[in-house]
Amino acid sequence: MLQTRIDTGSATYAENREKMLERLIKLDEQLEKARLGGGEAKIERHHGRGRMLPRERIELLLDRDAPFLELAPLAAYGSEYEVGASFVAGIGVVEGVECMISASDPTVRGGTSNPYTLRKSLRMQEIARVNRLPTVGFVESGGADLPRQKEIFVPGGATFRNLTQASAAGVPTVALVTGNSTAGGAYLPGMSDYTVMVKEQGLIFLGGPPLVKMATGEEAEEEALGGAEMHSRTSGVSEFMAADEVDLCRIGREIVRNLNWRKRGPESRGAGEEPLHDPEELLGIASHDLRIPFDAREVIARLVDGSRFDEFKPSYGTQLVTGWAELFGYPVGILANNGVLFNEDAEKAAHFIQLADQVDTPLLFLQNTTGYIVGTDYERRGIVKAGAKMINAVANTGVPKLTLMMGGSYGAGNYGMCGRSFEPRFVFAWPNYKTAVMGPKQLAGVMEIVMRGGAERRGIEVDEEQLAAAKQAVEEQIESESDAFVSSGEMWDDGMIDPRDTRAVLGIALAAAHGAEVRGSRQFGVFRM
Amino acid sequence: MGVSASNTETARRTISRVLVANRGEIARRVFATCESLGIATVAVYSEPDAEAPFVLDADEAVPLGGVAPAESYLRAEAVIEAAVRTGADAIHPGYGFLAENAAFARAVQAAGLIWIGPPPDAIEAMGSKVRARSMMEQAGVPVLPGAELSSGSDTSAEAERVGFPLLVKASAGGGGKGMRVVGEASGLAPAVEGAQREALGAFGDDTVFLERYLEHPRHIEIQVFADSHGNVVSLGERECSIQRRHQKVVEESPSPAVDPELRERIGAAAVAAAEAVGYEGAGTVEFLLGDDGEFFFLEMNTRLQVEHPVTELVTGLDLVRLQLQVAAGGELPPAARQATLRGHAIEVRLYAEDPAADFLPQTGVIGSIHLDGAVPFCPPSASRGEDEGAILRLDSGIEDGSVVSPHYDPMLAKVIAWAPSREHAATLLASALRAAELHGLINNRDFLVRTLGHPAFLAGETDTGFIGRHPELSEPLLGVADLPVYAVAAALAGMGHRGREQRATGGIGLAPSGFRNNPSAPQRVEMIFGGERREIAYGLSRGEIEASVGGEALEGVVLHDEAPYPWPLDLEADGVRRRYTVATYGDDIYVNSPRGQAHLQLAPRYPGSEEAAAEGALVAPMPGKVIKLMVGAGDPVEAGQPVAVLEAMKMEHELTAPATGVLTELRVEVDQQVDSGAVLGVIEAAEPAD
């Protein structure tokens, strides 16, 4: 049972909390932007046509009181496109089944796909595939954002390949058509296992009336060309015709109920008691200044069931905390940074990951590291080999991995602690997190040294003013690029979360990860290091 | 005093096994006393009563088969055969059914069984209202002017002689069956016709009786008891003035209108009446009491009355036990012969009926009936204890899950309170009823609570016009404006219930209820109350609860308790903290608080598939038999015009046209049995005039 040593009366705690609350206000603002989609006027017009907003549709599809974990809600933050990328997606429970639910947002540029929309939807398909989550999508999209078609058209084909490959892999796909589904969009319902169309609202055609007119001269009428009646009675493109959107959700639920879905991972086994310590305190625990370390055990104590944590190798490699716990009743192995990674920490990590593989236990990485230690002594002792062992283990483990960014994520530390490239099932980030190849000051400092060295070799006098300006510029650039909001906008994580929601978010993600078989890789016995 | 004393040959016999030729609460009441005396019990039952609590209460039970009373409880031979088969040595008839059937009483005796009731001759004498009246007149008991109508009577002439307003009622039987008030001559013929039809249906005898009708008299009745040793005693009065449709609703003893001197006089008249017919056992002599203290003999009920518990609680006597003793030839004990009235007892009859819809009887399943602190059939001697503690008694034929069928009286239970004073008893009874759980059927509970708390009732102003004078009694205890917090309690209980189920499954079920990392809408549920569909929005956010109903937020909502979903809900809203219990039966939700009970309906989450009944449809409000059709297919009808008569729950219900237009379809015939909700006909509305 983890004890806490936090002093909630300390100045550090108060400052951390204050700064975190500032970041959370910004998070709320951005989430509200995402919810507002195309803005109030567009929403009013959409409602005026008797149609629901994407989240209203999702709400009605979900079981009563069921959770919905919205993924990548800040996608496209910092880009020319609206926050959220005109596409809502997440994990929710329908008829007791954890599903990947998505809905295009027709209030944003008619629900057209921009490059961010495409990246988001491909990521959602990937999540559905690897975690074996049946997908239910509300389709109402004007297709590709034509001015950006070159970035979308060719890679966008993967959307359709993914749909049918999911189907082939035994992960069902359901399309609920609430509006236009034209051209390439026609293949969204087309490639789904089940398609439902709303009467006098859903439309599916390869070419709409204008294109038909251009192509063949035929004067086609919309409903006759691709309406719900026609597709439900004549073409058979639609399996069910819904009287309205409410009926659509009813039918969608009926379809999911009849999937007779069984998750392939083991059931949760524990009672899943709440942690003993208050998650509210995470706001004051997470460092605002990433140079100030904090004890990851304080986070674990506010995250896992009953605050129970059995630490592995506690006296060896003490910059990395490893151990066993349960989250939402599922056993989990945790690796958490308490600072920079030394040789011993890296080797302990590799050892621990192998142990998790041996007993098919999922892994949770809690990242807060400036990376692997540098210096002659450590190089002589083979820090590169030690780091390689850790990265090797992380990359090749067979068990599901979850990653939480709770502070710094720099250098190869991002890799060794299972950053996005190492295919964790989910990555979530706190608003205080920063990621870059190295810290902005270090990077600027390195740049200065390199520049001075170059000038020296060439025998040129260093322009101190120019160098200072360049140093400041790069520092600012890195500082802004490493910002959590920018990272989240680029979808380097699956969502920025309020630290107080960490248990719920990771619990839902871990439950979803059990949709697929949980099996470690076992090529050799465990190498002790 | 001479008549009953002549019956000297009676020998003491022993009763060791009693068959009750009845059902429901009265069967259970008799069984309760038998059990306390070690007497074995036998029930008889009809097909719909196969699972009824009284059947399970009895040591043994004999199925009579059949559904309607005529096919079951009224089959005298089958009942006697059941007694013979089980070796019962006595039959208790309860009230209603065969209780006042002299032929049955004789048949019981002829079979060598003890009849727990008065001598058949006495039943017969009192059974004919005309004969009873003349006997009473001879015995010096004051009577109202009246006349019996047999076939060939000149109805109008008889009515003129009696004088208007007058009452038309079945000659046989008691209670309110077949009773009608006629204000003037024009209304006479249909009233007589209707009364004859109901009398024939209920008692197999269409003789009816006309009687002068007092506008707002009090209904005072005397409980008499007589044994075969010449003792005839009065056990004091009961006042049963609060009636509707001539059915008693509230009964009490003593009456606030009766002082010791009047009690003495009425009691003496009642004893004289009993003696005049050679009465034995328990009987009730009913009188009408005018404003001036004048009283008239109404009738004598030769059986145990529904309202006997109030007499039991003020006298401390077990009347069923006395019946058994007297029937076995025993003498009334001194406690009965010198009975005095102590404290005050009030009984109310809980009915499955809708006070807001003219007391329309309801049928269906009772979800729960629970009154805190009520003792079932509690021994009357409890009220004679040294302490002056109050008593709450529940005489009920039903339990949780019981079915109220259309075949019998819709009375659910009698609730009786005893306390040292009348006001105390009324207050106790009202608060117990207010807090009671009565789930499943619309009932008259709120009506009873309002009656018991009404200033006029508390002032003792309780003549037979009470209910008619106070239409506000039909207002529900909780108005629509009170219901939002109940709806929120129901929504939170629903959330708690789902939360418990989900947590039990583990995994994602452990996520906080309605978790959203990007909250776009509160959790919602829609309920129907006050005739409208309303959205209840609720949500827990970092320990804080927010709730709104129909878009209006409730202020200061707090769920008090350590546990996340306490039961009952200890909920604070708008500055008041109360405990609420919530029970659901399908889409029906009942929320109880000390303030009363709210009934809410969960609205379907995905409405639209159910086909609504056609506009202008003439729908049967309850299961029953069509006994009359006033119009034919193709006839024009006015909105509100009587179209058909449905007989259900032993009452006739007139169905009126829902709209003005033409009856384009008539889907039923006379004598056809129909289910609740059945479309009897369709009226195509006429085009609006403009």
pLDDT tens-digit series, residues B277-312: 999 999 999 999 987 788 999 899 999 999 999 999
A306 contact B CB<8A: no
Taking the Cβ of residue B495 and every Cβ of chain A, the question of whether any pair is shorter than 8 Å is answered with yes
Interchain contact B455–A (C-beta under 8 A): no
Please state, rounded to an integer, the average pLDDT across all residues of chain B.
88
Please judge whether B507 and A267 are an interchain contact, meaning their C-beta atoms are less than 8 angstroms apart. yes
CA dist A393 and A353 (Å) reads 6
- For residue A267, give the nearest of B506, B513, B606 by CB distance: B506
The answer to whether the CB of B196 falls within 8 A of the CB of B155 is no
Please give, rounded to a whole number of angstroms, the shortest distance from the CA of B498 to a CA of chain A. Answer: 8
Confidence of residue B133 (pLDDT cuts 50, 70, 90): confident
3-state secondary structure of A350: helix
Residue A55 to residue B520, Cβ atoms within 8 A: yes
Q: Which residue has the tokens 């058949």?
A: B120
Q: Which is nearest to A59 in space by CA: B129, B645, B606? A: B606
For chain A, the distance separating the N- and C-terminal CA atoms, rounded to the nearest angstrom, is: 27
What confidence tens digit (pLDDT) does each residue in B537-567 have? 999 888 789 999 999 999 999 988 755 555 6
Q: Does residue A108 contact residue A82 with C-beta atoms inside 8 Å?
A: yes
| A chain contacts of residue B503, beta-carbon cutoff 8 Å | 272
- The answer to whether residue A455 scores a pLDDT higher than 90 is no
Q: Tell me the C-alpha distance between A433 and A444, whole Å.
A: 20
Q: Which of B495, B513, B517, B544 is best to mutate for the A interface (most A CBs within 10 A)?
A: B517
* pLDDT of A200 strictly over 60: yes
- Write out pLDDT tens, residues B632-673: 888 888 877 888 888 876 678 888 887 778 888 888 888 888
Residues of chain B found within 8 Å of residue A68, distances taken between Cβ atoms: 515-516
Give CA separation, B79 vs A2, B48, B83, B108, B119, in Å: 76, 17, 6, 9, 19
- The chain A residue lying nearest B526, using CA atoms, is A64
Buried b / exposed e over B165-193, threshold 16 CB at 10 Å, is: ebbbbbbbbbbbbbbbebeeeebbeebbe
Smallest CA–CA distance from A503 into chain B, residue: B511
> Looking at residues A220-231, what average pLDDT do you find?
94
Cross-chain residue pair A35–B518, CB shorter than 8 Å: yes
Q: How deeply is B546 buried, as exposed, middle or buried, from its count of CB atoms within 10 A (0-12, 13-18, 19+)?
A: middle
Kindly report the number of other CB atoms within 10 A of residue A234's CB atom.
10
Measured between alpha carbons, how far is B414 from A49 in angstroms, rounded to an integer? 57
Chain A residues whose beta carbon lies within 8 Å of the beta carbon of residue B494: 64
pLDDT reported for residue B1: 24
What pLDDT is stored for residue B636 in this prediction? 84
Residue-level pLDDT at B563 = 56
Question: How far is residue A127's CA from residue A90's CA, in Å, rounded to a whole number?
Answer: 10
Contacts of A69 in chain B (CB under 8 A): 515, 517
Cα separation values, A297 from A337, A394, B84, Å: 10, 21, 83
Largest CA distance in chain B: 93
Task: Determine whether the interchain pair B502/A329 forms a contact, defined as Cβ–Cβ distance below 8 Å.
Answer: no
Judge whether B496 is closer than 8 Å to chain A, CB to CB: no
Rounded Cα–Cα distance for residues B410 and B476 (Å): 20
Averaged over B620-629, what is the pLDDT?
Answer: 83
A248 CB within 8 Å of a chain B CB? no
Q: Write the CB contacts of A274 (distance below 8 Å, at least 6 apart in sequence).
A: A305, A306, A503
Q: Does B584 touch chain A (CB under 8 A)?
A: no
- Do B644 and B680 meet the contact criterion of CB atoms below 8 Å apart? yes
AA identity, residue B382: A
Q: In sequence order, which ranges of B145-235 are alpha helices (DSSP H)?
A: 155-162, 188-203
Inter-residue contact B647 to B627 (CB < 8 Å) = yes
Residue B168: C-alpha distances to residues B158, B185, B191, B245, B571 (Å): 12, 12, 7, 13, 54
Supply the ipTM of this predicted assembly: 0.94
Reference A53, options A138, A137, A124; nearest CA is A138
Q: Flag if A272 and B510 touch (Cβ within 8 Å).
A: yes
Mutate to test the interface with A, among B495, B501, B505, B518 (most CBs of A within 10 A): B518
CB B538 within 8 A of CB B545: yes
Three-state secondary structure readout of B365-402: ECCEEECCCCEECCCHHHHHCCCCCCEEEEEECCCCCC
CB atoms within 10 A of CB B95: 19
Comparing CB atoms, the residue among A68, A268, A280 nearest residue B506 is A268
How open is the CA angle B560-B566-B572, to the nearest 5 degrees? 30
Q: Are strands A87-94 and A97-104 parallel, antiparallel or unpaired?
A: antiparallel
CB B283 within 8 A of CB B226: yes
Lowest mean pLDDT among B55-59, B133-137, B578-582, B652-656: B652-656
Q: B525 — contact with chain A (CB < 8 Å)?
A: yes
- CA torsion angle for B562, B565, B568, B572 (degrees, to 10)? 70
Q: Do B507 and A498 touch (CB under 8 A)?
A: no
DSSP B401-451: T-EE-TTS--EEEEEEEEESSHHHHHHHHHHHHHH-EEESS--SHHHHHHH
Chain B interface includes A270 (CB < 8 A): yes
H or E stretch including B32?
helix B24-37
Task: Name the residue among B494, B511, B521 with its Cβ closest to that of A55.
Answer: B521
Q: For residue range B504-538, list pLDDT tens digits in order.
A: 889 999 999 999 999 999 999 999 998 899 999 99
Q: Do A246 and B606 touch (CB under 8 A)?
A: yes
- pLDDT tens for B249-263 read 999 999 999 999 999
Other CB atoms within a 10 A radius of the CB of residue A209 amount to: 16
For B398, phi and psi rounded to 5 degrees?
A: -120, 160
* Per-window interface: A 395-454 vs B, CB < 8 A: none
Distance from CA of A508 to the nearest CA of B (A): 5
Which residue has 């910004």 as its token pair? A26
Whether B506 and A272 lie within 8 Å, measured CB to CB: yes
Query: Pick from A318, A276, A315: which is nearest to A298 by CA?
Result: A276
pLDDT at B3: 26
Q: Which residue of A has its CA nearest to B506?
A: A268
Which residue in chain B has the smallest CA separation from A514?
B507
Q: Indicate yes or no: CB of B523 within 8 angstroms of CB of A64.
A: yes
Name the minimum distance, in Å, from the CA of A261 to any CA of chain B.
15
Structure tokens at A451: 């520049």
Distance CA B187, CA A422 (A): 94
| pLDDT (average), residues A327-345 | 97
CB of A308 less than 8 A from some CB of B: no
**Length of chain B, in residues:** 690
User: Which alpha helices (H) appear in A359-489, and where do they start and end?
Assistant: 376-380, 383-396, 412-416, 440-457, 464-481, 484-489
Return the residue of A nearest to B538 by Cα.
Answer: A65
Residue B690, pLDDT score: 44
* Shortest distance, CA B561 to any CA of chain A (angstroms): 16
Instruction: Output the six-digit token pair for B317.
Output: 């006597």
Q: Do B512 and A500 touch (CB under 8 A)?
A: no
Residue B323 has which token pair? 């019946």
Instruction: Kindly list the distances between the CA atom of residue B226 and the CA atoms of B174, B253, B277, B341, in Å, as whole numbers in the listed order.
Output: 21, 20, 11, 18
* Rg of chain B over all Cα atoms, to the nearest angstrom: 28
Closest CA to B205 of B177, B179, B171: B171
Cα A372 from Cα A341, distance rounded (Å): 5
Cis omega (within 30 of 0) on the bond before B254?
Answer: yes
Say yes or no: B517 contacts chain A, CB-CB below 8 A: yes
CA pair distance B359, B198, nearest whole angstrom: 19
Phi and psi for A393 in degrees, rounded to 5?
Answer: -65, -45
φ and ψ at residue A343, rounded to 5 degrees: -55, -45
Shortest CA gap B523–chain A (Å): 6
B615-to-B530, B631, B638, B680 alpha-carbon distances in Å: 21, 19, 15, 13
Question: Of B187, B177, B198, B132, which is closest to residue B155 (Cα–Cα)?
Answer: B187
**Any chain B CB within 8 A of the CB of A508?**
yes
Catalytic residue positions of B, numbered: 303
Top residue of A53, A65, A250, A510 to mutate, by most chain B CBs within 10 Å, is A65
Whether residue A396 contacts residue A365, with contact meaning beta carbons closer than 8 Å, is answered with no
Mean pLDDT of chain A: 94
Amino acid at A406: M
A344 or B152, which is more confident? Answer: A344
Peptide bond into B217 cis (omega under 30): no
Residue A358: exposure state from Cβ atoms within 10 A (0-12, 13-18, ≥19)? middle
Beta-sheet pairing, B661-666 with A173-182: unpaired
Residue A429 has pLDDT above 90, yes or no: yes
Between CA A505 and CA A429 the distance in angstroms is 11
Residues in chain A with CB shorter than 8 Å from the CB of B511 are 67, 328, 504, 507-508, 511
Q: Which residue has the higher pLDDT, A479 or A393?
A: A393
Q: Which of B505, B517, B606 sits opposite A497 (nearest CB)?
A: B517
Report how far residue A431's alpha carbon sits from residue A521's, in angstroms, rounded to the nearest whole number.
Answer: 34
Q: How many residues does chain A have?
A: 529
| Least confident window among A338-347, B23-32, B134-143 | B134-143
HSE-up of B24 (CA within 13 Å, CB side)? 20
Q: Is the CB of A268 less than 8 angstroms away from the CB of B525?
A: no
Query: Which CA distances in Å does A461 have to A335, A378, A453, A468, A469?
Result: 48, 35, 11, 14, 16
Are the beta carbons of A508 and B605 separated by less than 8 Å? Answer: no
| CA neighbor of A166 nearest in space, from A99, A249, A72 | A99
Residue A62 or residue B158, greater confidence: A62
Distance of alpha carbon B404 from alpha carbon B365, whole angstroms: 6
**Has residue B612 got a pLDDT over 50?**
no
Q: Which of A34, A65, A514 sits opposite B514 (nearest CB)?
A: A65
Phi and psi at residue B640, to the nearest 5°: 90, -10
Chain A CB within 8 Å of residue B562 CB: no
Q: What is the mean pLDDT of residues A300-326?
A: 97
* Contact call for B511 and A497, based on CB within 8 A: no
Distance CA A310, CA A2 (A): 9
Q: Is A219 on the interface with B (CB under 8 A)?
A: no
Contact A65 B516 (CB under 8 A): no
A30 shares contact with chain B (CB less than 8 Å): no
Is pLDDT above 90 for B464? Answer: no
Q: One-letter amino acid identity for A502?
A: T
